[in-house]
Amino acid sequence: MSKGKECSIVIAGVGGQGVVLLSELLGVAAVADGLKVHGSEVLGMAVRGGSVSSIVRIGDSISAPLVTTGMCDVLVSMEPSEALRYVSCLSSPSLAIISMEVVTPFMVTLGKCSYPSPEQIVEKLVGAAGKVVALDAVALARRAGSHLAANIVMLGALLATDAVPVKITTVRAEIERHFSAKLVPVNLKAFDLGYQEASAKMG
Amino acid sequence: MDKPGCGVEVRRKMGYNGALIVLEVKETCLQEATRPTIASDAQGEKLYMLGNEAIARGAIEAGVQVAAAYPGTPSSEILETLAEVAGELGIYAEWSVNEKVAFEVALAASICGLRALASMKHVGVNVAHDSLMTASYMGAKGGLVLVAADDPWMWSSQNEQDSRYVAEQAYVPVLEPSSVQEAKDMMASAFGLSEQFGQVFMFRSVTRIGHGRSDVVLGEISRTRREASFEKNPARMVYTPAVARKNKPLMLERFARIRHAVNELPFNQLRLAAGAKLGVVASGLSYAYVVEALNVLDLNDRISMLKIGTPHPLPAKLVSQLLLSVEEVLVVEELEPFVETHIKALAQESGITLKVHGKDMIPLIGELSTRAVIEAIGKLANRPIPTSFAVADKLAQDVAGMIPLRPPALCPGCPHRASNYVIKIASKRVARDYGDGVEPIYPSDIGCYTLANNPPLESVDSVICMGGSFGIANGLAHVLKAPIVAHLGDSTFFHSGIPPLINAVYNKARITMLVLDNSATAMTGFQPHPGTGNTATGEITDAVKIEDVARACGVKFVEVADPFDLKMAIEVLEKAMRFDGPAVVVMRSPCVIVLQREKKKKGEAIVPYRVLRVLEDRCNEKCNTCVALLGCPAILKQDGKKVIDASMCPGCGLCSRVCPYKAIVQE
């Protein structure tokens, strides 16, 4: 598999979905592989069920913690509408990997705004990125043993792309290192299911 | 054969007298044990670190012995990291009651010859400002570093503030890193510089440094531990006007020496390109964006570049060299035109005439981006801007209307939701006594409860700063005829809620002051505080009781209520509001996240609530009470029917108490 030398990844989601852990595992694996990493996240206010995003940039010539407009290689979104918030970082060479399970904002429940249809979201993303992979990470995580492992499903899906220059074995080793012995099998399975699903969808 | 990563791991504890106590020696060959930690010697090894961990590591490498802080995003992880390894490394670490005290604790250690740091967010620097102004006259004996964490774009703050101006006013030199690695390196040097020049230094971080992550090459840890000693020296230490007059010139001399020395520091770097017409000056993290912008524009060898690591004082020699070699200069920096203004002054002093660009081309608000820098340099250097920017803008515009609002919300089970519900019900009832159409007013404060600003609670009428709720309430009471119900949190109460409370007693402000006591500094990561009974390093200590403080301050009406006991809490609050004089109600219920963690630890079950269905169920599709009153993220609507997401619901039961049809029961 040919792996690109540099890669800018934006990971989006909702507070509580494990966006920060996903990016941490990816970053720490990249460093274990001897790569240079610049990342960034916003903590504090944003974790209270609000929009959360995290950035991981891998490569020697990268120095900035943020991704420039249109220059994101892969957008990983744990939630469909959250992907739309980062549409301006996409351009035709970009790939977007989206988990389609909706997390309804309380403002929608209150009737203060509406939630777009999944078809509309995917259509807009297809217009923005070169390629869109939509999957149901929560269902796959449940199949692996816990709905909480959806972020690890997305990590597996991300590693199925050619864009990320990190070894799969290193990421798996980081999963083993991070989780308690009881949780390692579920998370490794989640990773593999995400990997297989995204590989199949990308053909 | 030596396997990589095998070795001997020694767990040491530094005694207070500086002696090393070896706790445990074990041979390690496990992969888990080979990765260095924040406290490992591991010189030359790489670690993937959060910027705030890197800042803490730099201080550890410099042999910091005292660290004090008040939590605040984006600075909290610095003290958290140090507190975790404090015992092992012989560091005294504390969460102080506020930033002023934190700085004074560090200053005292410096006076006694120890290396010390105080860390805080930018608005915390305002609180410590008073001490800092005179500490600068006093100078530093042991290395003293104030870490100021600025928050461009106000991700977690009430304003944007450039701490470099505070440092300028105090003649305090500033170090500003361009990367997470440099943050570690600068902190490791900062204490030595502070001692070399006998002056307190400011280390200015920003959100993308403190909450950035990067691979960091570790340096050597200094395990030297000094013995503290206090030398009585009133001519240096007792700031009467006479002493201050003698010390100001000494402080100015120290600053002049620093002004000269910064030209030689490795954090400032000048690279002149042959024949370059444009020079770019970048301070701190802005340098990272400039480097990428020059790559995108393919201008690396055609533009002269001055990287600034000490925005105050500027390396004047390097600046002059750049100004003399180019026709035009662009200053790139986040927030205010600090470096820009000083460079303009330097050019004028040196009689150099050239155009200095800065905030005429670089945004004054928010965070920088590579794009903003590309656009500015591209314009000055006549380079085409990537067309992808306009395409992406159009896309963003196209979807803007589709994206649902998702502001941060009070967590399901949060006691602040119950408290704010109680505030609204009780205050509306009491407002009727004031006449028709009189609205109660709710000054609020800094903390999770600010989120009650969102619909449907909307029980927040003002937020300015820590303790500001009680202060504003004092003033409102003297000019308005309306019920004034102010609220702040427990940690905020100790931080700066007590003086305005005493003021209310003294000046007879008839206000109701609520302390929403959830036993944690929740917004910043559940740090302990004086009311919790434990310290930063996990020691048990005497808990200060809010109600005792209020009574001791002379408040005649002080009650404690459980906000989830709605009937009782509303009754108590009504009584407080009708009391003739300032009243305090402590709404006491632990933070739901802390509570859940404790339940998990003890193996107790978390029992969610659920909605019963129509007919066999009692939920009325037309009724929207639970949603409209509480705005709990765990309550969802499916085809008009209310359902509770069991994965989110911690079982607080607030919704079951407000449901008029008694349709919500515990599973």
The CA distance from A71 to the nearest CA of chain B, in Å, is 8
Q: What is the CATH number of the domain that holds B67?
A: 3.40.50.970
When pLDDT is cut at 50, 70 and 90, the band that residue A45 belongs to is low
Query: Does residue B170 lie within any of the structural domains?
Result: yes
Checking if the pLDDT of B19 tops 50, the result is no
Confidence label for A42 from pLDDT (cuts 50, 70 and 90):
confident
Quick check: is B572 in a domain?
A: yes
Please tell me the number of Cα atoms within 13 Å of A27 on its side-chain side. 30
At residue B7 the predicted structure's pLDDT band, cuts being 50, 70 and 90, is very low
Which of B31, B156, B289 lies closest to A64 in CB terms? B289
Is A113 part of the contact surface with chain B (CB cutoff 8 Å)? yes
DSSP letter for each residue of B191-224:
HHHHHHHT--EEEEEEHHHHTEEEEEE--PPP--
B573 and B454 in a common domain: yes
Which residues sit opposite B534 in a β-bridge? B540
pLDDT in the model for residue B20 = 41
CATH (residue range A7-202): 3.40.920.10
| Band (B25; pLDDT cuts 50, 70, 90) | very low
- Closest C-alpha among B615, B611, B605 to residue B650: B605
Q: What is the pLDDT of residues B348-401, one digit of tens each?
A: 999 999 999 999 999 999 999 999 999 999 999 999 999 989 999 999 999 999
Q: Do B251 and B388 have their domain in common?
A: no
Q: Would you list the domain boundaries of chain A?
A: 7-202
A126 close to B (CB below 8 A): no
Percent of chain B with pLDDT strictly greater than 90:
87
Per residue, the 3-state secondary structure of B19-57, as one string, reads CEEEEEEEEECCHHHHCCCCCCCCCCCEEEEEHHHHHHH
Mean pLDDT taken over chain B: 93
Q: What is the pTM of this model?
A: 0.94
| B2 band by pLDDT with thresholds 50, 70 and 90 | very low
Of A178-187, B42-51, B129-138, B614-623, which range is least confident? B614-623
**Dihedral sign computed on CA atoms, order B108, B112, B118, B123:** positive
**pLDDT for the residue A60:** 92
Residue B195: per-residue pLDDT: 98
Question: Does B361 map to a domain?
Answer: yes
Instruction: Tell whether B446 and B482 lie within a shared domain.
Output: yes
**Does B400 map to a domain?**
no
ipTM: 0.96
In terms of residues, how long is chain B? 667
Q: Domain range holding B86?
A: 43-262
On the question of pLDDT at B640 being above 80, the answer is no
Q: Do B232 and B103 belong to one domain?
A: yes
User: Of B584, B600, B616, which one is at a domain's C-terminal end?
Assistant: B600
At which of B239, B262, B285 does a domain end?
B262
List, for residues A131-171, the tens digit of each pLDDT value. 999 999 999 999 999 999 999 999 999 999 989 999 999 99
| CB pair distance less than 8 Å for B292 and A64 | yes
Asked if residue B612 and residue B517 are part of one domain, the reply reads: no
Q: Which residues of A touch B399 (CB under 8 A)?
A: 84, 87, 124
- Inter-chain CB proximity B404 and A81 less than 8 Å: yes
Query: In chain A, what residues touch B626 (CB-CB under 8 Å)?
Result: none
Compute the average pLDDT of residues B195-221.
98
CB B473 within 8 A of CB B440: no
Contact B212 A38 (CB under 8 A): yes
Residues B536 and B634 reside in one and the same domain: no
- B207/A38 Cβ within 8 A: no
A119: exposed, middle or buried (Cβ count in 10 Å: 0-12, 13-18, 19+): exposed
| CA B258 and chain centroid, separation | 29
Q: Left (φ > 0), alpha (ψ -120 to 50) or beta: where does B121 sit?
A: beta
Q: Given an 8 Å threshold on Cβ–Cβ distance, is A87 in contact with B392?
A: yes
**Closest by Cβ to B388, choosing from A43, A51, A70:** A70
A183 vs B: CB within 8 A: no
The percent of residues above 70 in pLDDT, for chain B, comes to 94
Per the listing, tokens 């918030």 go with A85
What pLDDT, in 10s, does the model give residues B508-553?
A: 999 999 999 999 998 898 999 999 999 999 999 999 999 999 999 9
Look at residue A1 and tell me whether its pLDDT is greater than 60.
no
Residue A177 sits at the chain B interface (C-beta within 8 Å): yes
Is residue B293 domain-resident?
Answer: yes
* Tally of domains in chain B: 5
Instruction: Judge if B596 and B611 occupy the same domain.
Output: no
B173 and B286 fall within a common domain: no
CA of B583 vs chain A CAs: smallest distance (Å): 30
Q: For residue B339, is pLDDT > 90? A: yes
The CATH code of the domain that includes B626 is 3.30.70.20
Integer Cα distance of A51 and A40 in angstroms: 15
Residues B298 and B379 reside in one and the same domain: yes
Size of interface A-B (CB pairs under 8 A): 190
Instruction: Say what the pLDDT of residue A43 is.
Output: 65
The predicted model gives B568-593 an average pLDDT of 97
pLDDT band at B3 (very low <50, low <70, confident <90, very high): very low
C-beta atoms of B402 and A87 within 8 A: no
Within 81-100 of A, beta carbons closer than 8 Å to B belong to 81-82, 84-85, 87-91
Contacts of A14 in chain B (CB under 8 A): 406
Do B179 and B287 lie in one domain? The reply is: no
Residues B107 and B251 in one domain: yes
Q: B123 falls in which pLDDT band (50, 70, 90)?
A: very high
Residue B146 domain-assigned (yes or no): yes
pLDDT given for residue A44 in this prediction: 55
B52-77 average pLDDT score: 98
pLDDT score at B651: 92
Beta-carbon separation of B455 and A110 below 8 A: yes
Q: What is the pLDDT of residues B144-153, one digit of tens each?
A: 999 999 999 9
Mean pLDDT of chain A: 93
Decide if B454 is inside a domain.
yes
Range list of H helices, chain A: 19-32, 80-84, 106-109, 118-128, 137-144, 150-159, 168-178, 184-202
Q: Which two tokens stand for residue A203?
A: 């053909």
| Chain A CA closest to residue B407 | A50
In a shared domain, residues B572 and B662 = no
What pLDDT does residue B271 have?
98
Q: Mutation target for A interface from B151, B205, B214, B637: give the one with most A CBs within 10 A.
A: B214
